[in-house]
Structure 1
Amino acid sequence: MIATSPWPSLAPYPRRNVAHYLGDAAQQFPEKVAFIDPDGREYTFARMWKDSRRFARFLQEAGIGKGQVIAILSPNCAEYVPSVHGSLLAGVTITSLNYLYREQEVAHQLQDTDAVGMLAPRNLMPVVEAARKEVPTLRHTWAIEDIWDMIEGVSGEPEPVEIDPEKDIALLPYSSGTTGLPKGVMLSHYSVSANVSQAIGTEITNEHSVVLDFLPYFHMYGMAV
């Protein structure tokens, strides 16, 4: 028996920087709440898009840009949104790590990706600093809770970055597979764009939907949601 989708094909998919989907939402629903954190703080689409652009500019001013990798070691949080979208706007690839990893597991992924920067909550900084000793490429570490303060004084728009959606890597999550250490899964902007287009191109959700985001963002399933 051949399984088929109840929805028609949406191909060809948009060839763009996948971060611009957030920009689309900010333009269409600027004052609509995009994210509610566990403490009840609300973040609109307009704010998340503005802060994503600020973080992109912050990275560029730090000398981080296209072809480089930023790592995120963190549970789900509002700060994840500008961290990811800002990095993508700057042409940077995001590699996400399981926040339960210990020092050697963190070091392995950082070494494997040649990560130049890392965001993590303060309580995980001892793990990051221990792993950092084995990762000569890692020049920057930031407490993810501080991202709002980090970008507060940033002015100006990020420099436009030209990408090849089918070749440039947007996300680099790791999958354990069946043997050995976890391995990187290279997901292009085009691949993620196709995933997003498929999700929003159905009648499953609309602009009034609310999603309980319990899936971990370090996993591609959670990131896509």
Structure 2
Amino acid sequence: MHKPLLVTDFLDRARDHYADEEAVVATTGERYTYAELGDRADRFSAALQERGIEKGDRVAILDPNTHYHLEAAYGSMQVGAVHTPLNYRLTPDDFRYILENAGVTAVYADYEYADKIEAVRDDVPTELFVTNDPDAVDGDWDDFEAWLDGGDEYDRPEMTEDEVITINYTSGTTGDPKGVMRTHRNETLHAYLISTHQELRDDDIYLWTLPMFHVNGWGHIYAVTGMGAKHVCTRGVDPGGIFEAVTAEDVSYFCAAPTVLNQLMSYYEDNHPETAGANDVRVATAGSAPPEAAIRTVEDEFGWYLKHVYGATETGPLITTSDARRFFDDDSSDRFAIKKKQGLGYLGTEIRVVDEEGNDVEPDGASIGEVVVRGNQVMEGYWEKPDATEEAFSDRIEGYYHTGDLATIDENGMIAIQDRKKDIIISGGENISSIELEDALFEHEAVDDVAVIPSPSDEWGETPKAFVVPKGGDPAAPGVTEDELVEFARDQLASYKAIRRVEFVEELPTTATGKVQKYELRQEEWADEDRMVGQG
């Protein structure tokens, strides 16, 4: 028989089987069972309906990783409203665009970020504004807790799995952000895939280090809840706080972008904290390939098991994993070469690497093409952008989402990202992977973080330039010279891949999810040029 796949099933299951088990450790100190979490979500649902919110209306949530986000998300989806999470690091102008573009009717905003909405509320179609601390917010805002006092009776509408239930806006690295539409079916199957490949169990304790607004925190608001595991909430991330939470709450699983792993390694080197409580720890990383040095530290010194996964907002996000244990031995250093790859496709996910004509490149681990993907977790399309949707699914090959990432693929079907199409360095006619150069520099003991981009060159058209965050954090006293880093990388790479320029910086620009914004570096580097590609 056919049973529709609905996102409301996840909280329903947890309430049925784990009602008296602890569901959430709140940032405010409270601890809620699944029965209590469900009751609070019901009350938010009732409050929305009482104020006229109907199935299909967009409800935005602007919140760090707190229990309010979980309650508002499930409360919205239970009445069929479209959950529209917002990146709390955006500007008021960004919020104006998104609220207007999505036609948001109601917004819940954490007290720390509500002023960004208040600044544009007269310019957007939003009618309802609610926060968790109205006394701390300027303007006329309703009280979240007062909303919950109205009761828990609501009518859950009939929903189908092909209806849009979430709109996630892209990071907007170029132009305005695009609203990625995701259906009940997309979200549900992605959560199933996470549960399988990330090995989620009902006794897992998940630490919220990845923003919940990021494709619903890689789908974990569904997967963790549906499995009956425990959410440990945060109000932002700092390395000391992560180590403290891991040990105090016996965390068994969390996500960390490579930049977060770097922060953890630096903190560990300086403070030597305990790295685990009563449970073994699994950590998933994505965004860019972690250098082998990072994997070594996380696994050999921290004692954690690292899973490298890959995807994009449009793809669910997760579509591949390097956690292919038949290809490596846990006790061998050979595992690092496998784990730094993006890996194999998730179950039910078709990954291809194709050339400009849409033909599959040779699976030799050397030929480069664009990664394209088909899978049930891939987005429905972009909100009110049919042309962009058509282009995303038909550029090189029809019916596949085109990631814009360039990769190789080996004989086992394991991909390894080499660069973004727009970030690859073409110097003197030779294609150079910035990731390979970054990986080489990461091996130097004075390097804490690094991004390599093409820099204008009269001789070569483009030449590799490295922006380096030194270990001590002070670009004026990096502990190594530019020439020393150039020579260090030259010793490890083919001569044509040599890094020719180095600039020490205090930090690298990143998205809210920890991805380095190379585009910002490129814009600054090419500001005096007519175009952002080399003409050598």
The reply to whether TM is greater than 0.5 is yes
Q: Which amino acid aligns with 2:39?
A: K
Q: Tell me which residue corresponds to 1:143.
A: 131
Q: Spell out the pairing of 1:188-207 with structure 2 (5 A cutoff).
A: 188-201=183-196, 204-207=199-202
1:105 equivalent in alignment to 2:102: no
Which structure shows the bigger proportion of residues in strand conformation? 2
Q: How far has the Cα of 1:20 moved from its partner? A: 2.2
For 2:157 and 2:16, the matched residues in 1 are separated by 20
CA separation of 1:39/1:154 partners in 2, compared to 1, >3 Å: closer, same or farther?
closer
Quick one: distance in 2 between partners of 1:203 and 1:172? 24
Query: Scaled by the length of structure 1, what TM-score is found?
Result: 0.87
Q: Could you list the runs of 5+ residues in structure 1 that have no partner in the other structure?
A: 1-11
Provide the rounded CA distance (Å) in 2 between the counterparts of 1:45 and 1:198. 23
Query: Are 1:165 and 2:165 counterparts?
Result: no
Q: How does 1:47-86 map to 2 (within 5 A)?
A: 47-86=36-75
CA distance in 1, matches of 2:199, 2:149: 37
Give the equivalent residue in structure 2 for 1:118.
Answer: 107
Is 2:31 the counterpart of 1:42? yes
RCO (CA 8 Å, sep 6+): is it higher in 1 or 2? 1
**In structure 2, how many angstroms separate the alpha carbons of the residues matched to 1:180 and 1:214?**
27
Instruction: Provide, for residues 9-36 of structure 1, a one-character-per-residue CA deviation record: whole Å limited to 9, x for no partner.
Output: xxx9962330221111111011111110
1:6 alignment counterpart: none
In structure 2, C-alpha distance between the alignment counterparts of 1:14 and 1:73, rounded to whole Å: 32
Partner Cα separation in structure 1 for residue 17 and residue 59 of structure 2: 29
Greater helix share, 1 or 2? 1
In structure 2, C-alpha distance between the alignment counterparts of 1:172 and 1:203, rounded to whole Å: 24
User: SS of 1:95's equivalent?
Assistant: strand
Contact persistence 2:44–2:75 (CA under 8 A): yes
Measure, in 1, the Cα distance between the counterparts of 2:197 and 2:114. Answer: 41
TM-score (norm. length: structure 2): 0.38
- Aligned-partner residue type, residue 133 of structure 1: D
Deviations 1:116-172 (A, max 9, x none): 11111223222111111211x21010003542331123142x112011211x11111
Secondary structure at the aligned position of 1:49 is classed as: helix
- List alignment gaps of at least 5 residues for structure 2: 134-142, 221-536
Alignment: residue pair count: 211
Give aligned-pair identity as a percent. 27
Alpha-carbon spacing, 1:60–1:39, altered in 2? closer, same or farther (3 Å)? closer
Query: Is 1:33–1:43's contact at 8 Å kept on the other side of the alignment?
Result: yes
Map 1:17-36 → 2, pairs under 5 A: 17-36=6-25
* Amino acid of the structure 2 residue aligned with 1:160: R
Partners of 2:208 and 2:159 in 1: CA distance: 29
Query: What is the rounded CA distance, in whole Å, between the counterparts of 1:193 and 1:175 in structure 2?
Result: 20
Aligned-partner Cα distance in 2 for 1:147–1:79: 9
Counterpart residue number, 1:180: 175
Paired letter, 1:154: G
Query: For the residues of structure 2 that align with 1:63 and 1:125, how far apart are their CA atoms?
Result: 22
Tell me, yes or no, if the aligned pair for 2:47 and 2:150 is still in contact at 8 Å: no
The answer to whether the Cα contact below 8 Å between 1:76 and 1:216 also exists between their aligned partners in 2 is yes
Q: CA RMSD in A?
A: 2.0
Residue from 133, 147, 167 that aligns with 2:122: 133
Residue identity opposite 1:52 in structure 2: A
* Matching residue within 200, 212, 224 for 2:219: 224
Q: Is the contact made by 2:80 and 2:156 (CA closer than 8 Å) also made in structure 1?
A: no
Deviations 1:83-122 (A, max 9, x none): 0001001010011111111110110100110001111122
